Amino acid sequence: MHEYHGYNLEAYILTLFSTVASIYRHQSLRASINVVVVKIIILKHENAGPHVTSNAQDTLQQFCRWQQLYNDRDDDSPNHHDVAILLTRGDIC
């Protein structure tokens, strides 16, 4: 994604999640769901993060292990996240 969006990648991600947050705030859901982007990690080199392949299961397993390295288990820590999301332009299926 970094190669495609370049320096606009962070703005693209924030715009995307602003839209997601708006959808989750819609009153038809009848639920209070607040989506907040706390941290963005942009990998500029393929080998800097999990290995993304055309095998979705392997890719997601690698991503799950990789993201655990960045998640402090303490809920009060600024380095704690509830959800990690992999965004890729690669075809993982």
Residue 57: pLDDT above 80?
A: yes
Domain count, the chain: 1
As given in the structure block, the two tokens for residue 45 are 């080199």
- What is the structure's pLDDT at 11? 94
Domain span at residue 36 reads 2-68
- Fill in the amino acid letter for 58: D
The DSSP annotation for 45-60 comes to: SGGGS----S-HHHHH
Residue 76 lies in a domain: no
- What is the structure's pLDDT at 73? 92
Residue 81: pLDDT above 80?
A: yes
Residue 3: pLDDT above 80?
A: no
Residue 42 near residue 88, CB atoms below 8 Å = no
> Between these two residues, 55 and 48, which has the higher pLDDT value?
55
Residue 79 lies in a domain: no
What proportion of the chain, given as a percentage, has pLDDT over 70?
Answer: 98
Q: Mapping DSSP to helix (H, G, I), strand (E, B) and coil, where does residue 63 land?
A: helix
Residue 48 lies in a domain: yes
Mean of pLDDT values over 50-75: 93
Among 35, 34, 52, smallest CA distance to 43 is for 52
pLDDT (tens digit, 9 = 90+) per residue, 13-35? 999 999 999 999 999 988 888 99
